[in-house]
Structure 1
Amino acid sequence: MEKFYPEASFLNYAKDMTAYVENDKINLADCGFDPEVLINNTTYPIPIVERADMPISLELDFYETKNTLVRNPETVELAYDKLESVIYGHRNALKSSTGQKAAHAYAPASNTVDTPILITTGSDNGEGFKRLVPEDILKLKKKYDLLDIPFENRYLVLDPNHLEDLILFDLKSFKDITDFVNGQPNRFAGFNILQYTKTPKYNVSTLTKLPWGAIADSNTTFGSFSFSSEEVMKCDGSVNMYERINDPEQRATIVGFDKRFLAMPIRNKALGAIISAKI
């Protein structure tokens, strides 16, 4: 049986900017100010202000798998195609890594007006954390409302622990919350609801996201994250497979992959998180 890999369905709702990738780089621009609106103006001519945009060139992240060796005698003796299974594993390992890196990028780094981070307020879950309750999501909704984030663009990606909290809170109301209806996610409190098993970790004391690859400590907690689909992007670059067939020294075939991919917030706005408070 093949291994299971986390499904990063939230990436389906990010802006796809692959079309702007050239030579594994994406060229964007940091937009300047929005124009000032005059109401009942009586002074003419209206002032002219030039907007200065700053060009940005970003190199896509480079993902590589370690090579896998498949000895030729195995391909004859085994009842399944081991080489094809190995290739499938490499593809899914890349898919899993890009999804985890994207989730980490989309989650807010710290608690600000544009990137609110809230903590759960429910009862003890028996593991030292306060449960997520619907009121916590409603508080996040209010933060998004005050930022005038369009309702249809709001997505909340639930950590498995938080999904369990909601189901235990009201089985009838939340048992199907992450199912899709007519190809669209269910909604609650103005958010399209998704789930992901590899959500980023946070420092519960400082309300800051742990750096990518950081080791958890006593202040580490888990959380769910949210975003506006207009404020996050993804883009794919080149994908390469490397193979050495019938290597005479190893008496084997050796395969490996690499892939270019980038996922990140566009303006660091309309990102949010609800992290679990410690008891």
Structure 2
Amino acid sequence: MKTGFKLFSRLLINAMMGLFLAVAVGVPASAGAAVVVGASIVSGNFLPNGSACAGVYTEIWTGELIKKLRAGITATWLDGIPDYSDKAENDIIHLIDVGGDPDVLINNTTYPIPIQDLEDGDVAISLDKYQTKATRVTDDELYACSYEKMASHKERHGESILVNKFKKAIHALAPQKNSDLTPVVLTTGANDNGRRRITTKDIVALKDKFDKMEVPTEGRRLVLCSDHVNDLLLCDQKFEKQYYNYTTGKIANLYGFEVYEYVSCPSFTTNGVKKKFGETALEGTNQASVAFYVKRMFKASGKTKMYYSEAEKNPQTQESLINFRHYFIVLPKKMEAIGAIVSSAYVPEISVTPKTIAYPVNGGTKQFAVSASSDYAYTEPEGFKVVKQDKVLLVTALDNSAGEAAKEGVITLTLAEDVTKTATITLTQPKA
């Protein structure tokens, strides 16, 4: 009664003010009253503190959240994936597992043609259930800030569900480990704090894997993790220009892939095994980029429901509680046509081939192939001359025809970034 009287009083005062203003400026009185009342309603200032919280419109807020969750905010890489939401009965999707394709006869001369059975099966998939923990809003808070407090809680519940369902989605689209139908490519680039950077050659290697799987070129999608985006910005000028020109989550096309960026890609071990969803990323794991063929994936949204208890029903705490439940899933229809690029571990190393060499008495020059993860230093034993040419050492033994003793020497190669990593070459030369 008290709240209703306040509302009526304020509306009446606003209407009277509008009427007087309209008469003063020479416009119809009804128009002036309507404008002022309408403005006061839009601004919200005509409401008494806490009056809008007397009843929360659960159905309206649930509808708003459904619209928000279906539209999404940052996962544009989900756009175009077939949507099976209309098939989610009781939050379960039924897919048909197509058994295979019929055999093809070429230049057949045998009749009747054999009959082949194609066995299909039903696959029931339950949608993931996302629930937020209940949050409280006290009447004391509502008295001071009106309904915006409750609206803020609703928004934060929605965004929390969005973030988690998108993380789960990209995790589900990544392969568990390397296989013929789910290739995992390890990066081969330079060192970046213990991981190898991605290179364009690694993306080409993944393209080659998709080619061998005979995945159609249209609809191939690559979602780059933040590490790999930064790697490409440093080493690929063409990619840099494409990156700074994009206005959505999609960057550009690269080697047949539609390229997107996402900050919450799944974590893999450095040898290419996916970590469980929600598992803490430990040392020795890195985020990976994920690739998939759009038409072989599916997504579905199920029911969304708001749970709300009013403060009036909690006389001791005088607080309202709110939370949401939402059903959603993204999966491959079959475990095929998906892949990943994983940052491999960078291990400082150096080796040389061959490790020993015997020179003839009259000397000569021999070539040694050096494999090193970075620059290296070398020693030069007496009686031999060493020349470094990138990944090759040219070692020359002087003529020992006049020597009174056989010669021996050892060349030690030391890795610049880790002096504990060494390789040796043993040299021998007989006397005359």
Consecutive unaligned residues of structure 2, counting only runs of 5 or more, are: 1-71, 347-432
CA separation in 2, counterparts of 1:123 and 1:172?
A: 19
| SS of match in other structure, 1:143 | helix
Q: Which residue does the alignment assign to 2:181? A: 114
Does the C-alpha gap of structure 1 residues 202 and 134 become closer, same or farther in structure 2, counting only changes over 3 Å? Answer: same
- The 8 Å contact of residues 231 and 268 in structure 1, kept in 2 or not, is answered as no
* TM superposition outliers: structure 1 runs of 4+ over 4 Å: 178-185
Q: Which residue does the alignment assign to 2:83? A: 16
Does the C-alpha gap of structure 1 residues 79 and 160 become closer, same or farther in structure 2, counting only changes over 3 Å? Answer: farther
Name the TM-score, length of structure 2 as normaliser: 0.60
Structure 1 residue 255 corresponds to structure 2 residue 322: yes
Does the C-alpha gap of structure 1 residues 191 and 18 become closer, same or farther in structure 2, counting only changes over 3 Å? Answer: same
Higher relative contact order (CA 8 A, sep 6+): 1
CA separation in 2, counterparts of 1:91 and 1:75?
A: 20
Structure 1 residue 153 corresponds to structure 2 residue 227: no
| SS of match in other structure, 1:254 | strand
Q: Which has the higher helix share?
A: 2
Consecutive unaligned residues of structure 1, counting only runs of 5 or more, are: none
Q: Which residue does the alignment assign to 2:40? A: none
CA separation in 1, counterparts of 2:220 and 2:244?
A: 15
Structure 1 residue 200 corresponds to structure 2 residue 266: yes
Shift of 1:78: 3.5
Does the C-alpha gap of structure 1 residues 139 and 29 become closer, same or farther in structure 2, counting only changes over 3 Å? Answer: same
Spell out, residue by residue over 1:192-233, the C-alpha distance to the aligned partner (whole angstroms, 9 max, x if none): 00111111111223x211112223333322210100001111
Structure 1 residue 215 corresponds to structure 2 residue 276: no
- The 8 Å contact of residues 26 and 58 in structure 1, kept in 2 or not, is answered as yes
CA separation in 1, counterparts of 2:268 and 2:211?
A: 24
Name the TM-score, length of structure 1 as normaliser: 0.91
Shift of 1:40: 1.3
1:162 corresponds to which of 228, 253, 266: 228
Shift of 1:75: 2.3
Structure 1 residue 68 corresponds to structure 2 residue 135: yes
2:170 corresponds to which of 99, 103, 110: 103
| More displaced stretch, 71-80 vs 105-114 | 71-80
| SS of match in other structure, 2:195 | coil
How many residues align? The count is: 273
- The 8 Å contact of residues 6 and 96 in structure 1, kept in 2 or not, is answered as no
Does the C-alpha gap of structure 1 residues 119 and 27 become closer, same or farther in structure 2, counting only changes over 3 Å? Answer: same
CA RMSD of aligned residues (A): 2.1
- The 8 Å contact of residues 6 and 197 in structure 1, kept in 2 or not, is answered as no
CA separation in 2, counterparts of 1:185 and 1:236?
A: 26
| More displaced stretch, 82-91 vs 178-187 | 178-187
Does the C-alpha gap of structure 1 residues 179 and 195 become closer, same or farther in structure 2, counting only changes over 3 Å? Answer: farther
Does the C-alpha gap of structure 1 residues 77 and 171 become closer, same or farther in structure 2, counting only changes over 3 Å? Answer: farther
